[in-house]
Amino acid sequence: MPHGAEALNLPVWNRASDVSVRPRRRWEGRSVVNLSSSAFMKRRTVRPRGAARGPASVVRAAVSRAAEPRNAMAHLDSEMKEECLREDLKFYFMNPCEKYRARHQIPWKLGLQILKIVMVTTQLVRFGLSNQLVVTFKEENTIAFKYLFLKGYSGIDEDTYSCSIYTQEDAYESIFYVINQYHRLKNTSLGTLGYGENEENIIGLKVCKQHYKKGTMFPSNETLNIDSDIETDCTHLDLQALSKNPQDWKNSPFFRLEFYRLLQVEISFHLKGIDLQTMLSRELPDCYVFQNTITFDNRAHSGKIKIYFDSDANIEECKDFNISGSVQKNAQYVLVFDAFVIVICLASLILCTRSIVLALSLRKRFLTFFLEKYKRHVCNADQWEFINGWYVLVIISDLMTIIGSILKMEIKVKNLTNYDLCSILLGTSTLLVWVGVIRYLGYFQKYNVLILTMQASLPKVLRFCACAGMIYLGYTFCGWIVLGPYHSKFVALNTVSECLFSLVNGDDMFATFAQIQQKSILVWLFSRLYLYSFISLFTYMILSLFIALITDSYDTIKKYQQNGFPETDLQGFLKERGSEEKCQKEPSALLSCICCLRRKGSDDRFILTN
């Protein structure tokens, strides 16, 4: 004969598939008849012997006897629903090792995350080595171009510009030197270079000069008559024109420069090259287009013309190549590996998304139950406990890894050449993957202190940084406008901010004080007051307060670990009756070694669920 819940034929409560269900054996041995009889005997009243029973009392007694079984069933039904919800919540907030102890559920997400860390890191290292070859090829070609086309280049840039000239003769010789070197490129260059077409599909040089429209200048008489409108004249020198007598184009009116109204001369040309060193790494070679621009800057009219060299290298798909050997086979292996990484990340993405969806469903059940039973809403802190931030972090990492892997595969087969975007996606995703490892370290008390301290101090630190940032911005703008003309580190806002940040960390202090120009005594005195006040305020006060905020949070966490954390509504609900029962089935020896399943249960109370 069935007993308990089977005798009542109770409906099965809707549960999330990812949560546990208590065995029904706790209801076995109870009799509905006994339960209803005892409840009825507690509520019946003693009637005096011989008293007559009226019609109303007879009806009330009949109704009461009929209602007692229904009330008992409803009460039993509510208890089962509450206990089921409690067990579901307990299972959700367990770590993978505890879930295995409770139900022998294999921690697939944990194993998948460990495998993903190895795969993503290996993929990033391989891509980094390949990208390093690209960067090296670009940098070495830029240096070679400067030696080829800049007359008198010493190998070291003078400042933001490569070199400078000071006479008219040097200006003409430097311009003609660039043109001659371009014409003799195949006979002088050591690289695999060739001529490329410019934006107008012309192979050759494009020379442009900018100057004021017209004017006269007599510095000795301090007279000036000039039109400030700027004119730009350009000419094209193709290979056929350069093959003729050089004096023909050198004596042309275009190259007669009036330096008093000349602003700049710009020479631009395109070159093509092939990077063969990638084949040493068993990769397909890359084809490059170098957009080179040489600028003779005379805007200052100070007697010094600055020469700038800019080379922009773009990777393009090689139109036709035939490579024999093991390079092609190695490329196929790399593509298979990248595809496997995409599959791993896609599986991780699906599992974490499923866990978040199930958590939201469980959160809705708990909020509804809590409101019905206790007639009040759950606090926001308990509601946010259901949103696992680590899962969100893993989802973002998986999305970036999938997109980055697709771009990497396209780069590998030479359909795309966007190394920068691929590097950002793969680098950021690997960063998030390794940050996610902290989640698993947080299952242990000693490692969990760091995570709890960061969580507790983050809101206070952000508010503190917002206030300190206002003072920092004030010093930045003040230093830029006052010290900019007298100090190289205060020329631009970004350099001012970098300089002040270095001073906060105690770097480069003496050089910052010493490099101020003493042309103005007033500015020199202001610079001392400015630097001393900034260093004293930020180093001795603001930075100390910043550290004190984190130390205070750490001390609070340590006290909580010794005396217990404040109990919330959610934790109080989980600690009610039946919460101390645990599954006693012994796990396998293999997973005991892997998951640290022998950890003492007394340590669990020190670990936050999320």
pLDDT tens digits, one per residue of 488-508? 889 889 999 999 999 988 888
- Calculate mean pLDDT across residues 105-128: 87
- Residue 455 confidence (pLDDT): 81
pLDDT of residue 56: 55
Strands 286-297, 305-316: pairing is antiparallel
| pLDDT higher than 50, residue 610 | no
pLDDT for the residue 476: 93
Mean pLDDT of 389-403: 91
Q: For residue range 520-548, list pLDDT tens digits in order.
A: 888 889 999 999 999 999 988 998 998 99
CB-CB neighbours of 398 under 10 Å: 26
Q: What is the mean pLDDT of residues 284-309?
A: 88
For position 603, what pLDDT does the model report? 39
pLDDT of 28 above 50: no
Mean pLDDT of 348-376: 84
Tokens of residue 602, six digits? 């007394």
At 308, is the pLDDT very low, low, confident or very high (cuts 50, 70, 90)? very high
The continuous run of DSSP H or E covering 12 comes out as: none
Q: For 76-88, what is each residue's pLDDT tens digit?
A: 666 677 778 777 7
Interval 220-235 mean pLDDT: 81
Work out the pLDDT band at 38, boundaries 50, 70, 90: very low
Compare 116 and 370 and report the one with higher pLDDT: 116
What share of residues in the chain are helix, strand, coil (percent, to 5)?
60, 10, 25
pLDDT on residue 55:
54
Tokens of 546: 């910043």
**pLDDT confidence band for 466 (50 / 70 / 90):** very high
Q: What is the pLDDT confidence band of residue 118, given thresholds at 50, 70 and 90?
A: very high
pLDDT band at 67 (very low <50, low <70, confident <90, very high): low
Q: Which residue has the higher pLDDT, 219 or 26?
A: 219
> What is the DSSP secondary-structure string of 231-271?
EEEEEEEEHHHHHS-HHHHHTSGGG---TTTEEEEEEEEEE
Q: How far apart are CA 333 and CA 283, in angstroms?
A: 11
Q: What is the pLDDT of residue 294?
A: 92
* Token pair recorded at residue 518: 């003493």
| pLDDT surpassing 50 at residue 600 | no
Cα 47 to Cα 51: distance, rounded to the nearest angstrom: 7
For range 279-286, the mean pLDDT:
72
For the cut 50, the answer to whether the pLDDT of residue 317 exceeds it is yes
Lowest mean pLDDT among 239-253, 417-431, 485-499: 239-253
pLDDT in tens, 478-488: 999 999 888 88
Confidence band of 322 (pLDDT split at 50, 70, 90): low
Which residues contact residue 69 at a Cβ distance below 8 angstroms, ignoring those fewer than 6 apart? 32, 36
pLDDT tens, residue by residue, 327-355: 556 677 888 899 999 999 999 999 889 88
Please determine, for residue 401, whether its predicted confidence score (pLDDT) is greater than 90.
yes
Kindly report, residue by residue over 149-204, the tens digit of the pLDDT.
998 888 888 877 888 899 999 999 999 999 889 888 888 888 888 888 877 777 88
Banded pLDDT at 26 (limits 50, 70, 90): very low
Banded model confidence at residue 21, pLDDT cuts 50, 70, 90: very low
Q: Which residues on neighbouring strands pair with residue 293, listed in sequence order? A: 268, 310
Q: Which of 64-68, 202-206, 218-222, 462-466 has the lowest mean pLDDT?
A: 64-68
pLDDT at 295: 92
Instruction: State the pLDDT confidence band at 10, using cuts at 50, 70 and 90.
Output: very low
Q: For 101-128, what is the mean pLDDT?
A: 85
Q: Which residue has the higher pLDDT, 525 or 367?
A: 525
Q: What is the pLDDT of residue 584?
A: 37
> What single DSSP character describes residue 16?
-
